[in-house]
Amino acid sequence: MRNHPLKPFPKDFLWGASTSAYQVEGAWNEDGKGPSVMDVAEHPKEVTDFKVASDHYHRYKEDIALFAELGLKAYRFSISWSRIFPEGTGEVNQKGIDFYNNLINELKKHHIEPVVTMYHFDLPYALQKKGGWLNRETIDAYENYAKTLFENFGDRVKYWLTINEQNVMILFGELLGTVDRNAENPKKELYQQNHHMFVAQAKAMILCHRMLPDAKIGPAPNISAVYPISPQPEDVLAAHTFSSLRNWLYLDAAVFGRYNSTVWSYLEKKQAIPEIQDGDMAILKEAKPDFIAFNYYSTMTVGANLPQKVSNNKREDQQMAFEEPGFFKGHPNPNLPKTEYGWEIDPVGLRTTLREIYERYHLPLLITENGLGAQDRLEEGDVVNDDYRIDYLQKHIEQCRLALDDGVELIGYCPWSAIDLVSTHQGISKRYGFIYVNRDEFDLKDLRRIPKKSFYWYKKVIASNGEDLANE
């Protein structure tokens, strides 16, 4: 039995919500924007592309007015690199700068703190054509892009996120199309890309601190606790290996400026050690994040895996399904319910994850994504009864509070997503937002905005600073 009242959420807690540029903006080729890898990616024919998305580019004022009505204290969005630099580098597109200036000013007008992701999966296609992250020149392009962002928006943006889910881009590079499946050793290419991203991220953190002494910057991977499928020692070991590869590699590099030893040995076995140039590790060491942002959807359950043929797990089967003969294999967790898209729901796992990250790095934590994708139904009278989403978020917020009580320094919670947007792989029908966007996969209808039941619920949560989580 608890014998003391739970610690409250801090007074300045960043109650927020998230989106990303290619998923929400649309206007994919307007006002000088260059194509990104997401614009040219192949789509399964049953889902829409990102060309119009939620048309936020043209409706940002209306959207931000709704975010203000919701009571958001923070809005986490990403800047489209190819809107600023259509070619990835070189000439700046002034109209791109203007758009984000307007967006940031509009947020400020409503007292909403902008939390900016500098790069969220949408590498400029012009850079991809030159080798993307495999090419070291992309590091310079990213640093130059970072400098441009700091120069133009640094007077108003205090929170910066370097790279969204670098770990997902590497772990699922073959699915996300960032690596050629037919390469001689795709893993070697992926971990070379990964190393270049580490250096780029470190350079951006160093630059941010030099240019903007009051700003805060951090990485934004997808982190989750990893459970062993059984107490059998081999399963526990496999879970540990997987967690190093999925989680700690990324945060050890960002925070301590070093490679995780378990991962290094794995890379040796896979002949996938990246080429590290003189000075790279010194740059990683010099860079220090001010906080850790992370996305959390669920945990992973893993067991030992004997050498055998790999089955082709898809991300949608289980958000982080993964297997590696001789190392580990993902399993469903029989204790957890699933969303209609098969993603396991594990609120307690969020508390475990928060504790694990905090104990390891002792930095303030910001949750930048957490949410439930579902096929919401617009009912008569413009009503969306998304009680399942309320239930999901309520249980996760409860665990945030318990983690705060455990001593974790949690500074904010930004669920995915502020408004309906196009899912990375499964179209617009897989909705996450507090605000419904009236369109279907291929019928744009009127794109009108309709607050869902979860909107009114979250508004009450924010107004009560997390004290009132009831759904009535």
Closest approach, Cβ 168 to ligand BG6, in A, equals: 6
Closest approach, Cβ 433 to ligand BG6, in A, equals: 11
Closest approach, Cβ 398 to ligand BG6, in A, equals: 22
Pairing relation of β-strands 292-295 and 365-369? parallel
**Main-chain dihedrals φ then ψ at residue 416, nearest 5 degrees:** -100, 115
Using alpha carbons, list the distances in angstroms from residue 386 to 378, 436, 466, 467: 10, 10, 19, 21
Closest approach, Cβ 196 to ligand BG6, in A, equals: 20
Closest approach, Cβ 18 to ligand BG6, in A, equals: 8
Closer residue to ligand BG6 (CB): 220 or 263 = 220
Closer residue to ligand BG6 (CB): 241 or 423 = 423
Closest approach, Cβ 219 to ligand BG6, in A, equals: 13
C-beta of residue 215 within 8 angstroms of C-beta of residue 158: yes
C-beta of residue 309 within 8 angstroms of C-beta of residue 372: no
From the candidates 25, 165, 344, 356, give the one annotated as an active-site residue. 165
Give the whole-angstrom CA distance, residue 434 versus residue 57. 18
Is 30 in the active site?
no
Closest approach, Cβ 26 to ligand BG6, in A, equals: 15
Give the whole-angstrom CA distance, residue 50 versus residue 121. 13
Give the whole-angstrom CA distance, residue 148 versus residue 319. 34
The residues that touch ligand BG6, with contacts defined as CB under 6 A, are: 20, 23, 164-165, 168, 222, 295, 369, 373, 416, 423-426, 430
**Look-up of token digits 């003391």:** 4
Q: What dihedral do alpha carbons 310, 316, 322, 325 form, nearest 10°?
A: -10
Closer residue to ligand BG6 (CB): 262 or 423 = 423
SS (H, E, C) 315-333: HHHCCCCCEECCCEEEECC
Closer residue to ligand BG6 (CB): 441 or 468 = 441
Question: Which pairs count as long-range contacts for 339-342, CB under 8 Å and 24+ apart, including other chains?
Answer: 339/372, 339/373, 339/374, 339/392, 340/374, 340/375, 341/316, 341/373, 341/374, 341/426, 341/430, 342/316, 342/317, 342/318
The CB-nearest residue to ligand BG6 is 423
Closer residue to ligand BG6 (CB): 152 or 370 = 370
Closer residue to ligand BG6 (CB): 9 or 125 = 125
Is 165 in the active site?
yes
Q: Which two tokens stand for residue 47?
A: 């889902």
Give the whole-angstrom CA distance, residue 298 versus residue 303. 17
Q: Which two tokens stand for residue 106?
A: 């509009």
DSSP 8-state assignment for residue 212: -
Angle at CA of residue 165, ends 177 and 64, nearest 5°: 110
Closer residue to ligand BG6 (CB): 152 or 353 = 353
Q: Pinpoint the alpha helices (H) of 94-185.
A: 94-109, 125-129, 137-153, 166-171, 173-176
Sign of CA pseudo-dihedral 363, 204, 367, 463: positive
Closest approach, Cβ 161 to ligand BG6, in A, equals: 11
Pairing relation of β-strands 449-451 and 435-437? antiparallel
Closer residue to ligand BG6 (CB): 333 or 423 = 423
Q: Which helix (H) or strand (E) holds 220?
A: strand 216-220
The residues that are catalytic are 165, 369
